[in-house]
Structure 1
């Protein structure tokens, strides 16, 4: 249920909810600024899930986020528990293929994977969330960068607590899986993640100021080897993912889906052996929610800063409450929206 669906909260509930929001980056509570009726409902305290914008019970998400580097090699598919994540990032790596950095918080699955090695842009992506990052190796300089980030490193190569294991139904190196509840239990003292995006209603781009275009398909090209797409399912109210022209399903058998698809144009630094997505900076952005797409810009001021989305009119570019995929499309790639 979105913020706009709550009509009978008493003043105490409004105060409780407001205290949980970051100024200027959480959902608006303007619709709750109305007189309490003569026969009000009992006060109900509410909280907002920081990585989805959904209404939750206070205290129910008092745990850290768990991020993991997830393989997207053909042999790694189908991945485990993508649809239970809050936010997923797709990034270009060597050979023209992509990998994911996926963040779980609202819902903790039993297992996640396949877990693979980190890349140089990953500290910039995960640092704003805090919490944990799980990965399986990486070049020493990249591992050192991640160890310097404000997150707890869970590394398969050095794990002595049994958090990781290899599964028999996949070939190495595409078979490393993390026990997510055990990782959460071992790091329960870490703080929950801060809010990352601005959230609005279930149809956040309906206002005329966004000049949002009706959209039923998103086509993206990272390289000749990776060209994902998303199709709008109006009945389900989600975007359904395809890869290289084929439906993309996770290990549960369900189609990979997202309430929001955020597409960012990014520079790729090719000066090293491994392509590095430049995450500190700014560029062109699109938000696709509820069958619409609005254009704007993105900005990230430093490693620890969140991604800020701004509409073309200079005001915030909001998302719908729900899970989000962030597509980091190279500046020499292709972005197309049709409707």
Structure 2
């Protein structure tokens, strides 16, 4: 990563995970991806690119009430296709630059003919970031090992199976050859557009409560604390996570109260409801 690239702002984008939205554009190159429960038991992603910026990312979709808590520590740009007025208002108060489909930054988005609406809004990522390159670069969101290698602690594990709802099972399997976890959804290999298998150095599972105040829209409760599991380097270890405020990063600690580092590389954060399921293999 060049010095110039390191100084650019983070680009976070709300990404569709509906069946008709797969395979997604550029998702395999995101630095951090957060998966969250939405209506109907489905999930969506908040993906963040900084070190590697694809030409196009998407499909871009609408925001949800927990998204300001996810992206506020990163700063920079948040791109989305709209949303309920109260959710948009919440995001506009986050301090990030809001790039909204149909708004002033619509010149950086278009609808591809390769997908059906509403699963077809694509973002021209480099052009959008270049237009707002005066925004600050993001701070590190986690503590990382000094050597860069994944910490070999915890229990040796072949992977982890997750259930957000009865219609949203997915799994991560440790791949010794690539030293990453490869992702599957509904028992099938999960790939990005172009065919690259989605993989991560770190898979961080946070068990979260769901706030039902918005009716049919579930809100993940991310400000607070809870239990979780970090899978990295072929090992899984229990962690305690905490997030003090909307703008604070997530902090991970072990049973002794020491901060837990991640391996340097791509990180997926799975916000699995306490009513869902987590099984370490």
Contact 2:99 2:105 in 1 (8 A): no
Distance 1:225 1:314, change over 3 A: same
CA 1:232–1:139 in structure 2 vs 1: closer, same or farther (change >3 Å)?
Answer: same
1:161 CA drift (Å): 5.0
Mapped to 2, the partners of 1:330 and 1:176 lie a distance apart of 28
Specify which structure has the higher proportion of strand.
Answer: 2
The correspondence for 1:234, drawn from 171, 176, 180, is 176
CA deviation after TM superposition for structure 1 residue 223, in Å = 0.2
Question: Separation in 2 of the partners of 1:149 and 1:315?
Answer: 30
Question: What is the CA-CA distance between 1:202 and the residue it aligns to?
Answer: 4.7
- Going from structure 1 to structure 2, the CA distance change for 1:160 and 1:232 (only over 3 Å counts) comes to closer
Match of 1:297 among 218, 228, 240: 240
Counterpart position of 2:8: 63
Aligned position for 2:278 = 335
Q: CA separation in 2, counterparts of 1:311 and 1:225? A: 32
CA-CA distance at 1:250 after TM superposition: 0.6
Q: 1:157 aligns with which of 67, 83, 102?
A: 102
User: What is the aligned-residue RMSD (CA, Å)?
Assistant: 1.2
After superposition, give the CA deviation of every residue in 1:243-278 in whole Å (9 maximum; x if it has no partner).
011111110201111010000000011232210000
Aligned partner of residue 109 in structure 1, secondary structure: coil
TM-score computed with the length of structure 2 as normaliser: 0.97
Structure 1 residue aligned with 2:161? 219
Tell me the equivalent position of 1:205: 151
Per-residue CA deviation, residues 139-192 of structure 1 (Å, 9 max, x unaligned), is: 000000000001000000213551110000100000000000111111000000
* DSSP-derived class of the 1:129 partner: coil
Q: 1:160 to 1:197 in 2, by over 3 A?
A: closer
Structure possessing the higher relative contact order (Cα contacts under 8 Å, 6 or more residues apart): 2
Name structure 2 gaps, 5 residues minimum: none
Distance 1:160 1:291 in 2: 42
> How far, CA to CA, are the matches of 1:255 and 1:202 in structure 2?
22
Deviation at 1:131, TM superposition (A): 0.2
Match of 2:73 among 114, 120, 128: 128
How far residue 204 of structure 1 moved from its aligned partner, in angstroms, is 3.5
| C-alpha separation in 2, matches of 1:78 and 1:159 | 28
Q: What SS class does the counterpart of residue 225 from structure 1 fall into?
A: coil
Structure-1-length-normalised TM-score: 0.80
